[in-house]
Amino acid sequence: MQRFADLRNDVAFHRVFARHPELLGAMLDDLLARGVDGLLNRVELLAPEQAREVPGAALPIVGARCRAGRTTFLLEVQLLRVEGFLQRAMHEACRVYVEQPTPGGAYQDLGGVVAVSICDFELWPDREQDARRAPRVPMLSRWRLTEAAVHVPRADDVAAVEHVVLELPKLHGGPPESGVERWAWLFRNAGELGELPAVLPPGPCRRALELADLGTFSAAELEGYRRARDAVAQTRQIAVDAEARGRREGLQAGRHEGVVQGKRDGLLEGEAKGRREALRSVLLLWIAEHELVLPGADRARIESEARVDVLERWAARAMRADSVEQLLAEPVPASIAPPPMGPVG
């Protein structure tokens, strides 16, 4: 029996983290591995946006905006892999960065912006990385400005805009051990739990789960939670249907193109085959008329040659060759051919 709310639901997320910024700070502390110092003096909720990449569906983007010191954090849980997701996340982070006030042009006072994306899908699947022979991207990846050749951060260690990505499906199947793994485990499993699990020791993650106990939700919160859950389920189904429809249409288009291309290739191959046969007949006739001896290896070479340009070259030589050796001689490479003769002086 489900006892706890799914933290990927915007109502549950806001109930736990917007009302308890210390938990938001603890999660950021683990994800960034650098300490947030707890100065969460301003928390802004992100309004739901329309997922335009999924026609006909509205998908809430779960998240919160907060500030620690001079750094602004934009945290969201992305539920579907949609076109342009990474670009949108970085565009929003850059917009927040450039909209900071700069009294007197004091650019050195600009604070950094960190976009934190918790993804309910794989952005860089291992199988795709392996196919490209590229390094695998870990479950938690941190992207920031570095030098291209040696990949070190800027000398002043100031990052204007960073992007931190947590890919939930990459969590291993064993018990979570680190803080990052416990948060990932919580986001993946909270909505299916019937009791407090032993794998979550006392601390921020366990406290977040306790606050997600559906038994403590008000009637209005439960109704909002169910509406958001149904909206996500509907959006997921629309996306699945669209993907399946796209695969069917692509398969049909591929079959049609395959038939057309097959006919085109067949005609070209037929023309080339006829040309090869005609050239071979010319060569064998020339050899017979000149009463030349054609060794078995040379005959096999002529009969197996599939390149029309080579057969045409041999046929042209037959007009002036005196032997099979001259007929089949390979052209002299340009690098070792004698230089052309020209006027002196």
With a cut of 80, say whether residue 100 has pLDDT above it.
Answer: yes
Q: Percent of the chain scored above 90 by pLDDT?
A: 28
pLDDT of residue 223: 92
SS3 assignment, position 155: coil
> Taking a C-beta distance cutoff of 8 angstroms, is the pair 62, 239 a contact?
no
- Which of 57-61, 238-242, 293-297 has the lowest average pLDDT? 57-61
Flag whether the pTM goes above 0.75. no
Calculate mean pLDDT across residues 316-329.
Answer: 74
pLDDT in tens, 141-160: 999 887 777 777 665 555 68
pLDDT of residue 311: 78
pLDDT of residue 259: 56
* Total residues belonging to the chain: 345
With a cut of 50, say whether residue 334 has pLDDT above it.
Answer: no
pLDDT in tens, 34-87: 655 554 445 554 454 433 343 433 444 567 888 777 788 888 888 887 778 888
SS (H, E, C) 57-94: CCCCCEEEEEEECCEEEEEEEECCCCCCHHHHHHHHHH
- Which of 108-112, 225-229, 322-326, 339-343 has the lowest average pLDDT? 339-343
d(CA 310, CA 326): 14
pLDDT of residue 185: 96
Q: Which tops the pLDDT comparison, 280 or 112? A: 112
pLDDT of residue 61: 58
pLDDT of residue 29: 87
d(CA 115, CA 86): 10
Alpha-carbon dihedral angle through residues 277, 281, 287, 288, given to the nearest 10 degrees: 140
Q: Which tops the pLDDT comparison, 339 or 34? A: 34
With a cut of 50, say whether residue 172 has pLDDT above it.
Answer: yes
pLDDT of residue 302: 78
Calculate mean pLDDT across residues 177-185.
Answer: 95
Q: Name residue 11's amino acid.
A: V
Q: What is the DSSP string of 282-331?
A: HHHHHHHHTT----HHHHHHHHH---HHHHHHHHHHTTT-SSHHHHHPPP
CA distances from 126 to 14, 47, 169, 183 (A): 32, 33, 11, 21
By C-alpha distance, which of 194, 183, 216, 164 is closest to 11?
216
Q: How is the chain split into domains, by residue range? A: 10-100+108-217, 272-328
pLDDT of residue 239: 63
Mean pLDDT of the chain: 77
> Taking a C-beta distance cutoff of 8 angstroms, is the pair 71, 111 a contact?
yes
pLDDT of residue 275: 65
Calculate mean pLDDT across residues 180-193.
Answer: 94
